Amino acid sequence: MRKSSDPRSPTASPPSKRCGPAWAGHYDYNTLDQNAIIGPDPEVTNLIFANGFSGPGLQQAPGVGRAVAEWIVLGRYETLDLSIFGYERIASSEPVLEKVVT
């Protein structure tokens, strides 16, 4: 049966306001360059960033977890050097731009 565009018609599509269950939540977003902020704070001792993922945080989580664990245990990165994502770039407004994802 063909759908009617008249909303009063019994064959009309349901109004969009009748959408199904939904949810809302916090979206962690870095407005400087949409990349994660990872590593130690340059001033506050024992504060290590792992935030600001701006969308791809799940796929980056294994590498970030490993790198941050190395930093905590060794005081440096060992297998992955993520220093490019350090807080210093935020403080100096020097974005790290993603070259592959647009």
Ligand X SMILES: Cc1cc2nc3c(=O)[nH]c(=O)nc-3n(C[C@H](O)[C@H](O)[C@H](O)COP(=O)(O)OP(=O)(O)OC[C@H]3O[C@@H](n4cnc5c(N)ncnc54)[C@H](O)[C@@H]3O)c2cc1C
Residues that bind ligand X (CB under 6 A): 26-28, 51, 53, 55-59
Q: How far is the CB of 58 from ligand X (least distance, A)?
A: 3
- Min. distance of Cβ 28 from ligand X in angstroms? 5
CB of 56 to ligand X, least distance (A): 4
Rank residues 1 and 100 by Cβ distance to ligand X and give the closer one: 100
CB 72 within 8 A of CB 8: no
CB nearer to ligand X: pick between 55 and 70:
55
Is 3:10 a contact under the CB 8 Å cutoff? Answer: no
Of 28 and 81, the one with the shorter C-beta distance to ligand X is: 28
